[in-house]
Chain A
C-alpha cells in the first residue's frame, strides 16, 4: 500500500456502505488486534507443549470480520470450520473461552473439551461445527436454512468453508439443492489457495470457485478478502438476498494463509521463500490499519491503546485458562444419547 497523496484523495471519497458505520469498522479493527494477539499466543502455547493443535486465522481476519459485520448474530446462524478464530471473537466469544478450547479445560463452552478447538455448539450464538471432515457442514447448512424457510423465520445461515472443502462432493450436493429450493444460505468460501500443501491449481482446473455458482443457478462473487469493507458489501448483499427470499449465494473471499496449515505443518516444505515473503504483504492487519488511518477513523494513540488492551486481555485469559483443570474423566460418558443408554453391550 502506497501512501501517495493521490491514494489518500481516492480513499477520502470512499463512502461506507449502508449499515457499516465508522464506529463499527473501528470495533472490527479492535477485534482484529485481539484476534492476532490471541492467535500468536495460541501458537506459542502449542510450542510450549500446552495446546495440542491449532489452526491459525492469520490472513483471514478481514474476511471473517467483514462477514460477521454483514450478518445479525441475534437471529442468523453460523456453521464454521476450524480457521474461524476471528469470527468467533467477533461473535462475542471471549479470549478465555477460546483458550479453554485450545487447552481442553473443564467448562469449555463448545464441546466440554471433547472436540478439537472451534468444534461443538456455542451456548449464546447459533454457531456450530460438528466435524473435522471438511465440507460436511455445507449440506448441513442447507438443512438448517431449509428448516428456517419451512418455519417462515427470517434467519440466514452462513456456511463457512475453505478452498479444500470445495472439492468435496458435499459441496456440489449442497449448492445444487440450495439452488433448487432457494434456501436462505450464504456459502462463504475463504479461499487461501492451499488445502494443507496442495495448491489451488492441483485442486481445480479453474481459478475461481465463485464461477461455479452459475451451475447452481445462484449468484457468485469473488472478493478481496483482505478488504473488510469490500467483504462486508458482498456478504451483505448475499445476506439481504437470502433474507428477502432470494435464495442462496456463493461468496468467495480471496485471502492468504500467512502461517502453515496448523501447528503440525511446515509450509516451507511446499511454498517457496519468495511466495512466503510475498504473502506477508497480504496481511489484513496492516492493510486495515492503514486504510482506517487514511480514512481518519483510527489514530495512532487509539491503535496503541487497542494493541495494549489486546495484550492485557490475552495475558489475563491465558492465566485464567491455565489455572482451570481438565474436565473430570467421568464426564466422558455423558450425553451420547438423550437416554444416555446407548451402549451396545450390557456393561
Chain B
C-alpha cells in the first residue's frame, strides 16, 4: 500500500483531523456532532478550527447526552446525511449503547434494506493515560460482537487516514476506535491524498518466521518494540499482524501467517475473558489447528475493572513491551 515517495509525517490525531477536514470539504452531506467539538475543537482537538471553516451548522456542539448524539446521528443518516459523531471518551459510550447496538446496527436488517445508516461514530478509547476507571476503557468487544456494525481500530496515521475515509464513505454504521495514547505518541507518514484502506483487512506490520503475533491499537506499537527486543536478544523473528478491523475480523491473513510460523499469540490491552483475543484464538483453533506447533498464547489485561488511576497499578495493569517480549520467548521455546 505504501508509496515509495516520502510524505510528511504526522501524529495520529493530526491524521484524523486532516481526514475529517478533507472529507467535509468533499461531501456537504457530512456533518459532525458531539460534546465540545465546536470552538473548543474537541477535547483532543480532532475538530480544531472546524467551526471557522464549516460553521456551526456542520460542527454541532451537543448537550452532554450520548444516547441522543447517536440517535440523532442515526435519524439524520437514514434521511440522507452522513454524520460523524464523536463520543468524547469511550467510557461515556454506554448511555448510547441502545441507539448504537440496539438500533443502528439493526436498521438495514430490520427494514430488509429499506433504510440504512451511513454513520461513523468516533470513539477515543484506551488507557495508559492516567485516566482511571472512566477515562481508560477498552470498549470494543460489545461492538465487535454485534452483527450490523463495522468496528475499526487503526494504530498508525496511515491506517487512520485510509480507514476513516472508508468508514465515512461506507453505507453502514461504523465504530471508529482511536486509541488516546497513540494520538500524539505515534507519528508516521500519511499523505494528503484521497486514498482508502479496506475495512475488514488486516495488515502484516512486521514479517517474521518464528511466531505470529496478532494485535491492534496501541498494542501494535508495544508489540513491534517487543519483536525488535526478542530479535536482537534471542534471534526470534516475530510476524506482527495488525487487525485494523475488529468486525469483521480478517481470519485469512491470520491463518496465512500461522501456517508459516506454527506459533500464534494475541496481544490486547482489554481484559481477556470473552474478548477479541478469544475470537482470534477460536479462529486459529478451529481453522488453523493442524498448523500449530504450540498452544495459542494471549497477553491481556488482568480481570479487574479497567484501570487503576494510581501510576504503579496502572503500569501493572497495562501490557508492556517487556511483558510481550517475555511471552514471545516462552512461546518460541515450546
Contact = CB atoms under 8 A, between A and B. Distances in A.
B63 A142 contact: no
A170 B71 contact: yes
A143 B117 CA distance: 12
Given A131-B103, A169-B67, A344-B145, A140 B72 contact: yes
B108 A337 contact: yes
B248 A342 contact: yes
The CB with the most chain A CB atoms within 10 A, among B68, B106, B107, B170, is that of: B68
A121 B114 contact: yes
Interface stretch (A172-180, A246-254, A289-297, A312-320): A172-180
A37 to B, nearest CB: 28
A122 B111 CA distance: 8
Interface in B138-158: 144-145, 147-150
Given A128-B78, A139-B71, 4 more contacts: A112-B112, A143-B72, A146-B76, A150-B57
B172 interface: yes
A162 interface: no
B287 A128 contact: no
A180 B60 CA distance: 11
Interface string B208-229: 0000000000000000000000
B32 interface: no
A158 B57 CA distance: 23
B171 interface: yes
B112 A140 contact: no
B87 to A, nearest CB: 14
Interface string A96-132: 0000000000000011101100011111000010110
B71 A136 contact: yes
B116 interface: yes
A276 to B, nearest CB: 34
Contact of B68 (A111, A177, A338): A177
7 contacts: A131-B106, A139-B75, A140-B78, A150-B57, A150-B81, A174-B71, A177-B72
A269 interface: no
A335 interface: yes
Taking residues whose C-beta sits less than 8 angstroms from the other chain, chain B's interface range is 35 or more
A109 to B, nearest CB: 9
A339 B150 CA distance: 11
B99 interface: yes
Interface in A171-211: 173-174, 176-177, 180-181
Contact of A115 (B68, B110, B116, B171): B110
A142 B172 contact: no
Contact of B116 (A114, A173, A180, A338): A338
A123 B114 CA distance: 7
B249 interface: yes
A337 B71 contact: no
A110 to B, nearest CB: 7
Interface in A262-304: none
Given A112-B112, A136-B102, A177 B287 contact: no
A123 B112 CA distance: 11
A342 B70 CA distance: 21
B77 interface: yes
A120 B248 contact: no
Given A136-B102, A344-B145, A173 B63 contact: yes
B266 interface: no
A25 interface: no
A143 B85 CA distance: 12
A344 B68 contact: no
Contacts of A131: 102-103, 106
Contacts of B323: none
A327 to B, nearest CB: 10
Nearest to B66: A173
Contact of A337 (B98, B111, B172): B172
A111 B111 contact: yes
A2 to B, nearest CB: 46
Contacts of B114: 110-111, 120-123, 128
B296 to A, nearest CB: 16
Given A130-B107, A144-B79, A147-B80, A111 B71 contact: no
B279 interface: yes
Given A136-B99, A343-B147, A344-B145, A338 B171 contact: yes
Contacts of A138: 71
Question: Lowest 6 A-B CB distances belong to which pairs?
Answer: A143-B75, A139-B71, A121-B114, A173-B68, A121-B111, A143-B72
A149 to B, nearest CB: 9
Contacts of B83: 143
A336 B109 contact: yes
B77 A177 contact: no
A170 B69 CA distance: 10
- Most chain A beta-carbon neighbours within 10 Å: one of B31, B57, B76, B148: B76
A321 interface: no
